[in-house]
Structure 1
Amino acid sequence: MQLTLTDEQKMIQETVREFVRKELIPLEFEFIRNEREGKTGISKERYKEIQLKGKKAGFWGLSTPEKYGGTGLDLLTRVLINIELGKTIIPFHFGGDADNILYHCNEEQKHKYLYPVINGDRLSCFALTEPGAGSDARNIQTTAIKDGNEWIINGEKIFITNGNEADFAIVFAVTDKGKGGHGGVTCFLVDREMGWKSENIHTIDGWDPASLIFDNVRVPEENILGEVGHGFELGMKWITNGRTIIPARAIGIAERLLQMGIDHSKTRIAFNHPISEYQAIQWMLAESAVEIEASKWLVFNAAYTADIGKPPQYNATIAKLYGSNMVNRVVDRILQIHGGMGLTKELPIELWYRSVRKYRVFEGTDEILKRTIARNLLSEKVKVGSFS
């Protein structure tokens, strides 16, 4: 059992850490000011410029297999990268990656959708969630009815990340109501020019997802991703991938916050002493450190499980549940340590306070994750005391 990073992983971790320090953290003041004034955090042009700097440094297509021009990094290494990217309030991702299920495209679809996304020429969005089918993803109401060589899609998707900017949507629709549940769901690649509309949804923080409206949108038969009736399995593969990356980001955020708490407690004087000398403050710091470390190993284990080819769903679910709750507790403590200053929009703490709350909702609410864990235990798919 090896619990140390390889030399390559250490080098990548340190390089990304330096990239964040030099390229992203200096933009935080501007980002906070723009967010305070209701403007876009950083411009698309600036974002693209930073992505190209990352590309020049070799950080492009991190999850993209080498045969498609990417680096094909294992999940554990990508977790390390996302921990470092989480240490800035700038919501940044290196370019050159495609939704993992787009690798199920046939050759013709790869040239139209997969390769342009990898090259940064097109943007996709994942459209599964609906007003009545969020946690209950099997309750999809969007329909696709076959008409000759086309399918007519009607319905609404909601809370879709990149939905306002995407060139095409990866859409899940019911193609066989008789099968019920997930058996009659098919996945479609739907270009914006085919007629779907998007509307912005304003949320608690800077995440602005979209509502997608499909009103008799005609999609050619050749735009089916995978096979008819097998779309739900593809959707679950996409979600499982995110359940490891989300807690990785949470760890990065929590580590940055903890350091802010340590630094502030050493310089803030109350009753003639730095507040770091008071047990109440020390306990908040200690509890945060313990929870961050626990979360880190849960995420590492989930990533390692996937990297050795074992089913990662159970471990990823535990990592996402614990990590998303951990970061909410940490940001609350660090805000408390900063007192009134923690509430101001001069520091990133209040922004993170709002931002991390969504981690407990999207890509599996706390309640759904607990249900998944319990079902695995009750069915004895996972044995109590087993090690994986």
Structure 2
Amino acid sequence: MYLRLTEEQKMVQETIRKFVKEELIPLENEVLKNEREGRPGLSPEKLKELQLKAKEFGFWGINTPEEYGGANLGQMMLAIVLMELAKTFVPFSFGGSADNILYYANEEQKKKYLLPTISGNKKSCFAMTEPNAGSDTRNIQMTAVKDGNEWVLNGEKTFITGGNEADFVMVIAVTDKELHEQTGRDGVTCFIVDREMGWTSEFIPTMGEGGPASLVFDNVRVPEENILGDVHRGYNLGLEWIGFARWVVGARAVGAAERLLQMAIDYSKERETFGKPIAAHQAIQWMIADSAVDIEAAKWLVLNATFTLDEGEDNRHLASMAKLYGANMGNRVVDRVLQIHGGMGYTKELPIERWYREARLWRIYDGTDEIQRMIIARNLVKGHVKIGQYV
């Protein structure tokens, strides 16, 4: 067992770290100003400019297969990259990638959807959550009824990330109600639906930035060839999409927490009370120490989950653990960092309050804390996972 990054991984990490420091962090004040005035943090033009700069460094399609022009660095390397990117709240992502389930598309679908998404000419989103079906996916109400060689979709999806900007959506709908009620898994199908086919989106205001969307389908007709995967078997695609997203939440929490902790350490050495820096007070030292331990524990959970995936093994149990612990760790750390900064941390002069609002979402989306605990406990109680089996 080797518990250190390889030289290649260190090189990638340092390159990304330099890019974040030199290209992204200097934009933070501009992003905050834009967000507080109701505009996107980054304009599409600025995002494209940054992505082209990153491409010059060789970062394009980090985890995209080489046959599609990507680097295919693997899940663990992707986690390392995401941790570095999360050290800023500037809304940036490297181009050249697509949703993991879009690779299940057939050849015609790949030409029409996958390749344009990788090239950046199209934007996608994934829609499974509904107003009355979040964690309880058995309660999905959106229907798809076959009519000739088309399917007619009716229903609403909510809290869809990227739903306002997407050109097409990969949406889960019930195609066999009786089968779905019996199994809770089968009887739903995944459809690729272009916006021009008739679905509409509306921004959902939240306490955070870059809000999600509500998508409405009113007799939207989708051709048979737009089914992604198999009819009545779309639930597994949904689980695969969510499973990938879960450890990503943990990775982002680690990166943000590392940046926040460094801010707290720097401030604690500058701010003085009772004739000495607050870093000399035990109360502050313990918050710093607890945060450092929290971050390292979450980091190894994330890296273990991604290493397991790279090995071709089922990582769903580890992904749930990384998501649960990572999300809660991020909330604990940002709360301590705000406390260390005192009143200044609560103001909008510093970005801590912005991270504080964002961090609260980590415990909800892509599976709530409660769902992760249920999954972890069920796996152990039913014997799907044995204590200590991963080390």
Instruction: Report the TM-score, using the length of structure 1 for normalisation.
Output: 0.99
Code of the aligned partner of 2:223: P
Measure how far apart 1:91 and its partner are.
Answer: 2.1
Measure how far apart 1:48 and its partner are.
Answer: 1.4
Give deviations 1:339-371, integer Å, cap 9, x for gaps: 010011111100000011100000000000000
Asked whether the equivalents of residues 32 and 346 of structure 1 are also in contact (C-alpha less than 8 Å), the reply is no
Structure 2: 5+ residue runs without aligned partners? Answer: none
Is residue 313 from structure 1 mapped to residue 313 from structure 2 by the alignment? no
Distance 2:126 2:338 in 1: 34
Code of the aligned partner of 2:327: S
Select the residue among 260, 279, 284 that pairs with 1:281: 284
Select the residue among 358, 361, 365 that pairs with 1:362: 365
Is residue 328 from structure 1 mapped to residue 310 from structure 2 by the alignment? no
SS at match of 1:133: coil
Q: Which position in structure 1 is the counterpart of 2:374? A: 371
SS at match of 1:186: strand
Structure 1: 5+ residue runs without aligned partners? Answer: none
Give deviations 1:106-140, integer Å, cap 9, x for gaps: 00000000000000000001011100111112221
Q: Which position in structure 1 is the counterpart of 2:97? A: 97
Asked whether the equivalents of residues 203 and 211 of structure 2 are also in contact (C-alpha less than 8 Å), the reply is yes
Measure how far apart 1:6 and its partner are.
Answer: 1.2
Q: Which position in structure 2 is the counterpart of 1:37? A: 37
Q: Which position in structure 1 is the counterpart of 2:70? A: 70
Measure how far apart 1:63 and its partner are.
Answer: 1.4
Distance 2:36 2:110 in 1: 41
Measure how far apart 1:8 and its partner are.
Answer: 0.9
Q: Which position in structure 2 is the counterpart of 1:125? A: 125
Distance 2:217 2:42 in 1: 30
Give deviations 1:229-280, integer Å, cap 9, x for gaps: 1100001001111111111111010000000000000000111100000000
Measure how far apart 1:39 and its partner are.
Answer: 2.6
Code of the aligned partner of 1:349: I
Alpha-carbon RMSD across the aligned residues, in angstroms, is 0.8
Q: Which position in structure 1 is the counterpart of 2:5? A: 5
SS at match of 1:219: strand
Asked whether the equivalents of residues 130 and 157 of structure 2 are also in contact (C-alpha less than 8 Å), the reply is yes
SS at match of 2:388: coil
Asked whether the equivalents of residues 41 and 91 of structure 2 are also in contact (C-alpha less than 8 Å), the reply is no
Distance 1:72 1:145 in 2: 38
Asked whether the equivalents of residues 201 and 208 of structure 1 are also in contact (C-alpha less than 8 Å), the reply is yes
Number of residues paired by the alignment?
A: 388
Measure how far apart 1:86 and its partner are.
Answer: 0.5
Is residue 343 from structure 1 mapped to residue 373 from structure 2 by the alignment? no
SS at match of 2:246: helix
Code of the aligned partner of 2:58: G
Code of the aligned partner of 2:360: R
Instruction: Report the TM-score, using the length of structure 2 for normalisation.
Output: 0.98
Give deviations 1:302-324, integer Å, cap 9, x for gaps: 01110101100000100000000
Q: Which position in structure 2 is the counterpart of 1:27? A: 27
Distance 1:285 1:332 in 2: 12
Asked whether the equivalents of residues 36 and 345 of structure 1 are also in contact (C-alpha less than 8 Å), the reply is no
Distance 2:211 2:100 in 1: 22
Code of the aligned partner of 1:240: G
Measure how far apart 1:141 and its partner are.
Answer: 0.6
4+ residue segments displaced more than 3 Å: none
Asked whether the equivalents of residues 40 and 210 of structure 2 are also in contact (C-alpha less than 8 Å), the reply is no
Is residue 302 from structure 1 mapped to residue 305 from structure 2 by the alignment? yes
Code of the aligned partner of 1:330: V
Measure how far apart 1:45 and its partner are.
Answer: 1.1
Code of the aligned partner of 1:87: K
Select the residue among 244, 263, 273 that pairs with 1:270: 273
SS at match of 1:216: strand
Structure 1 range deviating more: 11-20 or 26-35: 26-35
Identity of aligned residues (%): 63
Code of the aligned partner of 1:196: W
Give deviations 1:208-249, integer Å, cap 9, x for gaps: 110000000000000000110110000100111111111111
Is residue 88 from structure 1 mapped to residue 88 from structure 2 by the alignment? yes
Q: Which position in structure 2 is the counterpart of 1:381? A: 384
